Amino acid sequence: MRRSLIVGASAGLGRALAEQMAEVGHTLFLVASDGQDLAPLAADLSIRFNAKVTWMATDLARVDAAALRDRVMAALGGLDDLMLVAGFSDLARDRGPVPPEMVERLVAVNMTSALLIANAFLGDLATNPRANLVGMGSVAAVRGRRSNMVYGAAKRGLEGYFESCRHWLAGEGGAKVQFYRLGFLSTSLTFGQRLPFPALSAEKAAHTVIANLGRDLGACYLPWWWRGIMTLLAHMPWAIFRRLDI
């Protein structure tokens, strides 16, 4: 029975992962900011799938990763899948100068918390070749633009750390690393927005992520066809790129 920790489990992709992992028999430890949301989810998963579910509510901007690891190890007795899914963006305001608290929060939730948690479990992941370290980046991080400035920077930092983790874990013979540059998903992050490309449902994205567990994937796009779009964008001459209002 696989033991999986999902950070950012109460909504969107994290919740879809929780449901599908519970369905295929994983034992789960769920982390999110809102306990009022996690308690019903845990009840639902245990009633529908007979899953063993533990949860903890915490603000990721102030996460105590060592304490989290203690709780997870006490509840699960080990860890096979570390799923770092939490993230948030503020598309309307994250453009040009923003209040310093906002910079801190965007970096803390999207990057620092994931680094702290991954770092706390790195020793466990190094000794378990069946384990997976899974992170969620963004297409917003591929080439810096005038929107999602801080968010994009945080996700690019996260991607850099995952690259290092993959290299280090390969040397240790430990966990496999999968890092997803997510395109648009139909979650509360994109609710009500007009999108230039179709959004993938969280359920379909979760299905792909679970199917890829165990693979030494490194960084890839989800959905896959964003690779073409982002390759074009990344190689676009500056003279054109600077004029795009994206």
Partner 1 sequence: MLRPEEATIARGSGLSYVGASFAQGGTSIGMGRFDRILGFDSAQGWIEVEVGCTVGKLYSFLAPRGLRLPVQPGYPTITIGGCIAGNVHGKNHMREGVFGRHVLSLRLRHPDHGILECSETDNAEAFDLTIGGLGLTGIILSARLALMPLEGTEVSEEHLPIASLEEAFAEIARLKDQADMLYAWLDLSRPSHDTRGNGFITLARTAPGVPLSSMPTLPGRLDPSGSEIKRLPLFRAQTLPWVNRVYRAQALRHRGPRRIPLADFLFPAMGKESYFHFFGNAGFFEQQVLLPADAVASYLPDFRRILARHGAPVALTTLKAFDGGRNHLLHYDGEGFSFSIDLPDTPESRALAAELDELNCSVGGKTCVIKDGRLSAATARRQFPDYDQFRARLAAFDPRRLFASELSRRLDL
Of residues 49 through 88, those in contact with partner 1 by CB under 8 A are: none
Residues that contact partner 1, how many (by CB under 8 A): 8
| Minimum separation from the CB atom of position 191 to partner 1 (A) | 8
Closer of 19 and 81 to partner 1 (Cβ) = 19
Closer of 37 and 163 to partner 1 (Cβ) = 37
Q: Write down the residue that tokens 């994937």 correspond to.
A: 217
For partner 1, what does the binding mask look like between residues 10 and 49, x meaning CB under 8 A?
-x----------------------------xx-xx--xx-
Round to whole Å and give the CA distance between 141 and 132.
23
> What is each CA distance from 102 to 81, 91, 136, 162, in whole angstroms?
30, 12, 20, 24
| Minimum separation from the CB atom of position 132 to partner 1 (A) | 26
| Minimum separation from the CB atom of position 195 to partner 1 (A) | 12
**Residue of 111, 67, 54, 115 lying closest to 88 (CA atoms):** 111
Residue type (1 letter), 28: L
| Minimum separation from the CB atom of position 41 to partner 1 (A) | 6
Round to whole Å and give the CA distance between 115 and 109.
10
Q: Residues with Cβ < 8 Å from 229, sequence gap 6 or more? A: 139, 197
Closer of 32 and 114 to partner 1 (Cβ) = 32
| Minimum separation from the CB atom of position 136 to partner 1 (A) | 19
Round to whole Å and give the CA distance between 14 and 89.
16
Q: Is 199 in the site for partner 1 (CB under 8 A)?
A: no
Round to whole Å and give the CA distance between 150 and 105.
10
Closer of 10 and 132 to partner 1 (Cβ) = 10
Query: What number of other Cβ atoms are within 10 A of residue 3's Cβ?
Result: 19
Helix (H) or strand (E) holding 136: strand 132-138
Closer of 188 and 231 to partner 1 (Cβ) = 188
Round to whole Å and give the CA distance between 205 and 140.
17
| Minimum separation from the CB atom of position 201 to partner 1 (A) | 12
Round to whole Å and give the CA distance between 119 and 123.
8
Closer of 40 and 129 to partner 1 (Cβ) = 40
| Minimum separation from the CB atom of position 114 to partner 1 (A) | 24
Closer of 77 and 196 to partner 1 (Cβ) = 196
Residue type (1 letter), 101: E
Residues forming the site for partner 1 (CB under 8 A) = 11, 40-41, 43-44, 47-48, 188
